[in-house]
Amino acid sequence: MLEKTGIATKEMFEKMLPSAERRKRGPYVVIECYEQIPCNPCVTSCAAHAVTMKDINDLPKCNHDVCTGCTLCVSICPGLACFVIDETVGNGKIKITLPYEMSPLPEKGNVVDALGRDGSVVGKAEVVRVNSGKKLDRTSVITVLVDDDLIYDVRSIAVR
Amino acid sequence: MKFSDILIVGGGPAGMSAALAAADEGVRITIMDRWDELGGQLIKQTHRFFGSEKEHAGTRGIEIVKILREDIAKNPLIEVKCNTDVLGIYSDRVIAYEEDRLYHRMTADKIIICTGAAEKMLQFENNDLPGVYGAGAVQTLMNVYGIQPGQKVLMIGAGNIGLIVTYQLLQAGVDVAAIVEAAPVIGGYKVHASKVRRLGVPIYTKTTVKTALGDKYVTGAVLADVDDKFEIIPGTEREIEVDTICLSVGLAPLGELISQAGAEIRYIPQLGGFIPKRSESMETSAPGIYVAGDVSCIEEATAAMIEGSIAGLSAAIATGMNRPEAIEKRDEYIEELRVLRSGNTGKKIRDGLAML
Ligand SMILES: Cc1cc2nc3c(=O)[nH]c(=O)nc-3n(C[C@H](O)[C@H](O)[C@H](O)COP(=O)(O)OP(=O)(O)OC[C@H]3O[C@@H](n4cnc5c(N)ncnc54)[C@H](O)[C@@H]3O)c2cc1C
Ligand code: SF4
Ligand code: SF4
């Protein structure tokens, strides 16, 4: 599937999730990088040393006990493959933090279209945080609030 | 006649890294590029690079250029000649070049050729219509000159370049109708494929472009399915409305100067076509002529920079600057390159190098 369509399946995604207990504890990263490629900024950028690799061609491996969900890797990963999910919000909602390199940027409080893995509109997303500081070098890090059943689906937004 | 210890032809990531590595050993270098500034392919690469963080991965190509250019500008041993086209390298190591439209000659003790690669063309009906572009041209128009190539693009080829240029088109506000790929699977990195998919661009594998439609310029294209032998399956043709067709079907090394210098060339499809035979230290079969980067094997910028460093150090060592530290440093780069190519994606390169 992934190699023909560019879309990772739900099973692939679920394997990347931490334990049920860790998911209840606070934000955590999901590294959706399923193919061995010679690449390592996720490892070298993580201040908590949560991500490791045997060598540069290995798949990144995350120790979720160490990951603080700080979102540093979200902007640095050249594959835009790191997402931070926070399931502690309640009210049937979760927060997803994603990298965004399109213009215009949304503003905090905007309600925008939530896009699925094939670009189709899968629901609404409320923008709760926009981080586009200079240090991020034009990869903004956006946190949106979406329905919790969209945990696998939402991977981008459309600001129209 | 002008003389330099080392002449470097081509100022892309390979050439710039070669210059810096060699200058570190105290030799005098001249680096020439036909473009009006150093940088090669990197000047249009606005995306963050994958690869090793040591070679600036996670940084945008355009930022990597700035870092390398600054280091070169600071180094008094490196002479930079832009707008300078190298025309010929003769067996007595006389180099002919055109600078500011004047013909000159020089000599050098060692020569490192880092001329990069050219885009391949694809055969299909009407492929000479205005609106059919190479991906490199589209990238240059958008990212160097700020010009949109069209409104609605059909991308041919789902390798890394096709995927990344699609992403950059979307960033520039251009609609991409589809990416078509003749192979059964996406050739580029899946992270890049996922990136364009989630912005709504479909990828059709086992599909090709049969015809470009339009009288004076592109107004559409005929797509068709292909079988396992890449032959069009009759009856599967369908039309798609686009005003631009962007080809990203591979690169071929620009190796003319290497042949002219008398080095042995072999045809190795896995490495991109006609490739110079060379040693681990990046020296060709013509003594004193070194190569690095896409001209020696189509790969990516991390590999080009490491190869450049190896070639630069090797050439400097060969001029007599053979400090043990220099040899040690070169061996470290050789090992780094080996590790970089040791994974799944490096298999094609390893197979190709074994044939060389
Ligand atoms: C769209 C795209 C995306 C890419 N993305 C990535 C990525 O994310 N990560 C990555 O690692 N790599 C990436 N690459 C690959 C990378 O850009 C190349 O592998 C790298 O630029 C090769 O470096 P080079 O120095 O060998 O050649 P080039 O960068 O092509 O430089 C060659 C230089 O030689 C000059 N030249 C040629 N002939 C002559 C002559 N006769 N006289 C004088 N000058 C001459 C040219 O003007 C040019 O400046 C990408 C490439 C493209 C096209
Ligand atoms: S979210 Fe922060 S702590 Fe977790 S892996 Fe990414 S950089 Fe490391
Ligand atoms: S930085 Fe991103 S693309 Fe590179 S290995 Fe890590 S997760 Fe994968």
pLDDT for residue B64: 94
What distance in Å separates the CA atoms of residue B56 and residue B302, rounded to the nearest whole number?
8
pLDDT for residue B91: 82
Q: Which residue in B193, B248, B245, B204 sits closest to B226, CA to CA?
A: B204
Indicate whether A157 pLDDT > 90: yes
Distance A31 CA to ligand 2 centre (A): 10
On whether the CB atoms of residues B23 and B75 are closer than 8 A, the answer is yes
E strands of A22-139, at which residues?
28-31, 51-52, 61-62, 82-90, 93-100, 111-115, 121-131
Q: Does the Cβ of A73 fall within 6 Å of ligand 2? A: yes
pLDDT for residue B220: 98
> pLDDT (tens digit, 9 = 90+) per residue, B200-226?
999 999 999 999 999 999 999 999 999
What distance in Å separates the CA atoms of residue B89 and residue B281, rounded to the nearest whole number?
21
pLDDT for residue B92: 86
Indicate whether B19 pLDDT > 90: yes
Confidence at B143, pLDDT banded by 50, 70, 90: very high
What distance in Å separates the CA atoms of residue A79 and residue B69, rounded to the nearest whole number?
26
Least trusted range by pLDDT, from A78-82, B45-49, B175-179, B195-199: B45-49
Please give the backbone phi and psi of residue B82, each rounded to the nearest 5 degrees, phi first: -95, 180
Q: Which residues contact B214 (CB under 8 A, 6 or more apart)?
A: B126, B129, B131, B220
Q: Which amino acid is at B276?
A: P
> pLDDT (tens digit, 9 = 90+) per residue, A96-150?
999 999 999 999 999 999 999 999 999 999 999 999 988 888 899 999 999 999 9
Nearest residue in chain B measured CA to CA from A115: B198
Q: Would an 8 Å CB–CB cutoff place A120 in contact with chain B?
A: yes
pLDDT for residue A109: 96
**Chain B residues with CB within 8 Å of chain A CB:** 47-53, 57-60, 63, 170-171, 184-186, 189-203, 205, 302, 339-346
C-alpha torsion B184→B188→B194→B199, nearest 10? -100
Q: Which residues contact B51 (CB under 8 A, 6 or more apart)?
A: A38, A39, B57, B300, B301, B302, B340
Distance B180 CA to ligand 3 centre (A): 25
Residues in chain A: 160
Indicate whether B54 pLDDT > 90: no
Least trusted range by pLDDT, from A19-33, B41-55, B154-168, B310-324: B41-55
pLDDT for residue B245: 98
Residue whose CA lies nearest to ligand 2 atom number 7: A46
Indicate whether B51 pLDDT > 90: no
pLDDT for residue A134: 81
Please give the backbone phi and psi of residue A42, each rounded to the nearest 5 degrees, phi first: -60, -35
Cβ contact, residue pair B191, A35, below 8 Å: yes
Q: Please report where in the chains the tokens 């090709």 appear, as a residue.
A: B208
On whether the CB atoms of residues B20 and B329 are closer than 8 A, the answer is no
Q: Does the Cβ of A94 fall within 6 Å of ligand 3? A: no
Distance B232 CA to ligand 1 centre (A): 33
> pLDDT (tens digit, 9 = 90+) per residue, B100-117?
899 999 999 999 999 999
> Which of A57, A73, A153 should be substituted to probe chain B, the one whose Cβ sees the most B Cβ atoms within 10 Å?
A57
